[in-house]
């Protein structure tokens, strides 16, 4: 059933050789304990492994030579062009090399995996570029990872792509795998070869709250920089995420900041966490960074300040409630938009009326013309009639005395309103009005 990598038949299995055929060339492996593996394309053997049929696995894999065979698998999610004789090219499925150990470890078949290991399977064999421990961690199979480590699997093995098993703990379910790796000596600050991401970069970018907590408890570096110059806090803030993941990213950033991460750290493009959090419209992260001293008006290399980024994102991230970030920036002294550009902002941000409300309530007077009514689609006016009617009416009447008093007081405080507010002795409703409370109407 099994043939050698260079075509030599195993004497013990000669009668079954016609069931499999050898693959051209030796299998690559840069890991310790390298052996020339056997190679197999027998679907009966593969089915036993992929279904976790212990009885069949015990039947087919009884000797060391058999348990270390290499299996050719096709990745049906990855098509590629391949060349053939006469210079023709065709689109085929990518072929991958794997082993019985990899298959069983990635699918959580612990009993099959144990049988293979007891029969002498090479625990660090990596014909496809990854060890079985890599694939177990990728699949979050903690029991398999524990078994592999108990048989001496190297927690520091580097894949063909330059990743260690700890870098591949990339799902909430892989937390126990990460814990096992660290307990067995995995390096907490080891970077990937190309991206130079540490495990903390990976966990922060993916919004893995418990992974971040675990890595910090093992001394993960808060200021390690990857190939883009990002710290883990930069990486977390720079990652785009849906509205339902905002709380996880907030908790990740909260942990990093509480541990001492620099809130004004910059990447190679001089992007700071606040720039990136605004670009991704996460208002709770914006509030967190501002409360810990993030510079509200500093520019990136592109010339954008945080306010520019949140206004650019507001139109297509309305479910993130970008208006809250706009309000927080204004209350922390963000430079206001040039009044002549407000019509352009209205055209872009009219899908988020509260964003427009916060901006306009930071000015004493705004020159509203007929162009403003033309800038808002009719369907949006129908969805928010009270707000837009009050907006368009500003072209015929002045702002209310209460609003003018608010603007006068905010102007006197010059960006120090949050520090001064507790000393003013104002009742809570008036404090909230001063801080640009949303009312869905303009007075």
The domain spans of the chain are 1-78+94-156, 301-443
The whole model's pTM is what?
0.85
Cβ atoms < 10 Å from Cβ of 235: 26
Looking at residue 75, its pLDDT comes to 53
Cβ atoms < 10 Å from Cβ of 38: 25
Looking at residue 345, its pLDDT comes to 97
Strand partners, 83: 89
Lowest mean pLDDT among 70-79, 329-338, 425-434: 70-79
Summarize pLDDT for 279-311 with one digit per residue, the tens.
999 999 999 999 999 999 999 998 999 999 999
Distance from CA of residue 366 to its chain's centroid?
41
The CA-CA-CA angle for residues 164, 165, 166, to 5°, reads 90
Looking at residue 290, its pLDDT comes to 98
Looking at residue 39, its pLDDT comes to 62
Rounded to an integer, what distance in angstroms lies between the CA atom of residue 205 and that of residue 249? 8
pLDDT above 80 (res 29): no
Mean pLDDT, the chain, whole residue set:
87
State the fold for domain 1-78+94-156.
Answer: 1.25.40
Which of the 8 DSSP states describes residue 339? Answer: G
Rounded to an integer, what distance in angstroms lies between the CA atom of residue 435 and that of residue 402? 13
pLDDT above 50 (res 17): no
């Amino acid at each position: 059933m099994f043939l050698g990598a260079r075509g030599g038949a195993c004497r013990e299995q000669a009668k079954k050789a016609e069931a499999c055929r050898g693959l051209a060339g030796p299998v690559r492996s840069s890991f310790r304990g390298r052996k020339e593996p056997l190679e197999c394309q027998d679907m009966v053997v593969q089915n036993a492994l992929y279904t976790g049929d212990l009885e069949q696995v015990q039947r087919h894999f009884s000797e060391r030579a058999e348990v270390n065979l290499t299996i050719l698998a096709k990745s049906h999610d990855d098509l590629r062009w391949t060349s053939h004789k006469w210079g023709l090219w065709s689109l085929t499925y990518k072929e991958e090399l794997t082993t019985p150990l990899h298959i069983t470890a990635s699918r959580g078949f612990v009993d099959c995996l144990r049988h293979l290991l007891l029969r002498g399977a090479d625990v660090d064999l990596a014909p496809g570029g990854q060890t079985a421990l890599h694939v177990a961690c990728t699949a979050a199979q903690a029991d398999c990872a524990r078994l592999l480590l108990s048989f001496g699997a190297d927690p520091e093995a580097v894949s063909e792509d330059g990743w260690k098993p700890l870098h591949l703990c990339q799902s909430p379910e892989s937390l126990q795998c990460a814990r096992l790796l660290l307990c067995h000596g995995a390096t907490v600050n080891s970077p990937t070869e190309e991206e130079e991401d540490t495990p903390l970069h990976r966990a922060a970018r993916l919004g893995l709250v418990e992974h971040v907590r675990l890595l910090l408890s093992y001394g993960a570096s808060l200021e390690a920089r990857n190939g883009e110059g990002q710290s883990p806090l930069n990486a977390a803030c720079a990652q785009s995420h849906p509205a339902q993941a905002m709380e996880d990213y907030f908790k990740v950033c909260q942990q990093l900041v509480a541990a001492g991460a620099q809130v004004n750290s910059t990447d190679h493009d001089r992007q700071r966490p606040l720039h990136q959090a605004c670009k991704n419209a996460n208002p709770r992260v914006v509030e967190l960074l501002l409360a810990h001293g993030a510079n509200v008006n500093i520019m990136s290399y592109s010339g954008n300040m945080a306010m520019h980024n949140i206004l650019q994102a507001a139109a297509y991230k309305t479910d993130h409630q970008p208006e809250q970030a706009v309000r927080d920036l204004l209350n922390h002294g963000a430079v206001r938009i040039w009044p002549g550009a407000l019509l352009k902002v209205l055209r872009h941000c009219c899908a988020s009326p509260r964003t427009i409300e916060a901006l306009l309530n930071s000015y004493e007077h705004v020159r509203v013309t007929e162009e403003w009514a033309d800038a808002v689609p009719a369907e949006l006016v129908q969805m928010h009639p009270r707000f837009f009617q009050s907006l368009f009416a500003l072209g015929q009447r002045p702002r209310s005395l209460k609003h003018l008093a608010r603007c006068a007081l905010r102007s006197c405080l010059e960006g120090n309103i949050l520090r001064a507010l507790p000393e003013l002795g104002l009742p809570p409703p008036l404090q909230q009005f001063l801080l640009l409370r949303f009312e869905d109407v303009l007075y």
